[in-house]
Structure 1
């Protein structure tokens, strides 16, 4: 999803109050049951102080995606119950996908039926995919130890 303006119509200001209201709903959905929209929601949040028509259009696009994919949500089954103290974690990173060449890292931890997700732009500029993955793994490890 490219959020760069492509013409003068995209530069029109959007209703900031409505945009923030939609963004709040998207963030709630991303944090509770739909982590698949977390990245898109994070990108949209970068424009919350001065949203434009293109950003509002993208927010409506994410809402229509949610409407069209109601069924694929996180569902916890009781078939497998990990020991309560077992913490399982995953980390991943993209490499230099942002215009400023910073990578985005993310991790997920599960413990019993609880899930913790986090995604953030890396502070360092990685020079390779391996370095970006190592930075993501290090961040996830620090969070797990904490």
Structure 2
């Protein structure tokens, strides 16, 4: 079983989050997860990371995010933690909005998605049962 994946204090900026996505994909594949399932894991994880950038911090200061992933006896878990405060995104005025589907994507891509928000930030815990496939 590989060592857990840990990235703490990552700036919640597009470039830094893309790097975490790339590193997470490499870790998931190295853990022996098949390509399709790895894609689901990284898609849901990256969506949660993008939500941090959109909702947790104001534009003046991007803040940071922590990412932890581990294998636990046939189950893979990714935990994404921000230390910000929820803020409502700017409304999308385009005729067909692409916003507002992040939580649906998380729940559709993961076997289980738990989201806990409070005064000290939000924790998103995503879980996949690797033995179910």
So what's the TM-score if we normalise by structure 1?
0.26
Higher helix share: 1
So what's the TM-score if we normalise by structure 2?
0.28
Instruction: From the CA coordinates, give the structure whose radius of gyration is larger.
Output: 1
